[in-house]
Amino acid sequence: MSALERGKIYLNDVEASIADAGRQLVVGDVIRVWLDRPGSSKRHPRTGLVDGVDIVHEDDELVVVNKPAGTLTVPLERRPDALSVLGQLEDRFRSHGRQRVFPVHRIDQNTSGLVVFTKHVASQRVLKEQFKRRDPTRVYWAIVYGTPSPAEGTWRDVLVWDEKALIQKQTHPRDPRGQEALSRYTVLEGFEQASLIEVTLHTGRRNQIRIQARLRGHTLVGEDRYIYGPDSLRPIEFGRQALHARRLSIRHPIDGRVLDFEAPLPTDFLELLTRLRRRT
């Protein structure tokens, strides 16, 4: 039972849980046991789809997840029944005796891509300080209407969060509530009505890329909040904002080594690119 609780038993290449203890084996089942290395009780990192969560990296301190669009990063009080990555991770670890997982940062529900969680509050604190200092490299891919000009440049704004409307708004530089929003963009590919751009965040304001693109007349394809003008200006059908957290670089909270992660484009994003390329 102890080996099951510690995640050492694999049945047909899937980690077995306590619920599998009484399972009757059949011909063809393959059981593998992971044994501790001499002098160590650490488990090997696992990647790929684990208990419904796309794990990009896992070690004794961190879990990096490729979040699908439509799933919250953390639960919201106003939407207690909505699926969240934090909830999925806590359900998974609860079977191994761990009660808590700690979020480091968030991305929007309908944005896909990389998010980081820690297994200990001390590591969460270290990583949050990194984000506060703007040390991590955070790179997003987005598909926007039109073509930003010049082909690469900097977006700098002062934003204020509207608590009632739950959106970012541009404000005057001298507004005491205002916060600087700074990002660097590059046009990667142009289409008939839209462009694929890469955006590197230097600050991490809520909805930052969505509002900064909108302020320059380049609303994200699929955007339903930061928009302007009639729907006829946004003829490309897509079920969410076309935004993906593509790459992330952080320092490990324990030994300080640089960790670089990349999340492949999800199927819906790839299909949208294919449609736009065919039209062009």
Distance CA 121, CA 124 (A): 5
Collapsing DSSP to helix, strand or coil, 208 comes out as: helix
Number of H helices, E strands in the chain: 5, 15
Residue 108 designated active-site: yes
Q: CA-based diameter of the chain, in Å?
A: 72
Distance CA 3, CA 16 (A): 10
* Per annotation, catalytic residue among 36, 51, 81, 108: 108
Distance CA 228, CA 137 (A): 30
Collapsing DSSP to helix, strand or coil, 276 comes out as: helix
Collapsing DSSP to helix, strand or coil, 280 comes out as: coil
Long-range contacts at 268-273 (CB < 8 A, ≥ 24 apart): 268/69, 268/238, 268/239, 268/240, 269/112, 269/141, 269/143, 269/242, 269/244, 272/143, 272/221, 272/236, 272/238, 272/242, 273/143, 273/196
Residues carrying an active site annotation: 108
